[in-house]
Amino acid sequence: MRHWTQLGEASVPGSDKSIYLFQGKDDFFIKLSGGLELMNTRKHGSEDALGALPCQNLENPESACVLIGGLGMGFTLAAVLDAVGPGAQVTVAELIPEVVGWNHGPLGECSGRPLDDSRTQVHIGDVADLLREKQAFYDVIALDIDNGPEGLTKSNNSWIYSEQGISATVDALKPVGIVSYWSAEADQKFNGRLKRCGLKIEEVSVYAHGNKGARHTIWLATKQS
């Protein structure tokens, strides 16, 4: 007996892969071609933390300028909106236009419809373009565009996790800004790259759901003072 229904399919720009949105009895999930589950609506503790943790020590949360890459199921965006004030501007970059459409549909209920918040601006496209174009602009950058610090959804995503991409991200941050990265697993090589780029890092292990079971890794990185 089938326990899920496919609601959507979208090709990934810049790759030969596709992603698929499914609805189960009590949840939604998104899979990549080949079957890897990228996200689901049941377990989002670490996606919430990716947005909440870097906003905790903002000097001025009222008017913070935040960049999130990508939207996924909207949990990181919702956590950032909860943590910042009414004058904040939160840009979410999402590569796949259909993902934005899915979040405007029933999927959006699961994260509390953060796209409808007047502080949210959506950039449909590659978050790397915003990182290359902005200088000393963001207070917080929260990045969750793949399963970890390597290009899986599309190979070009590896640039973001390279020393060149990390440096561009740091340049896009204000001097006291902070960047958070999400990964399914710890990664010593990525740790090393962050340090070689002169960043002070805190590596946090966060439960995917509740307070037991699988954990994910979040790096919080700031410029050395």
Ligand X SMILES: C[S@@+](CC[C@H](N)C(=O)[O-])C[C@H]1O[C@@H](n2cnc3c(N)ncnc32)[C@H](O)[C@@H]1O
Which residues bind to ligand X, rule: CB under 6 A? Answer: 38-39, 47, 69-76, 93-96, 99, 126-128, 144-145, 153, 157
Q: Residue 121 Cβ, how far from ligand X at the closest point, in Å?
A: 14
Q: Residue 177 Cβ, how far from ligand X at the closest point, in Å?
A: 19
Beta bridge partners of 130: none
CA dihedral 35, 98, 28, 77 (to 10 degrees): 110
**For ligand X, which is the closer residue by CB, 96 or 178?**
96
Q: Residue 181 Cβ, how far from ligand X at the closest point, in Å?
A: 11
Q: Residue 1 Cβ, how far from ligand X at the closest point, in Å?
A: 28
Rounded Cα gap, residues 96 and 83, in angstroms? 26
**For ligand X, which is the closer residue by CB, 104 or 195?**
104
Q: Which two tokens mark 58?
A: 């903002």
Q: Which amino acid is at 70?
A: G
CA dihedral 81, 85, 89, 90 (to 10 degrees): -10
**For ligand X, which is the closer residue by CB, 151 or 177?**
151
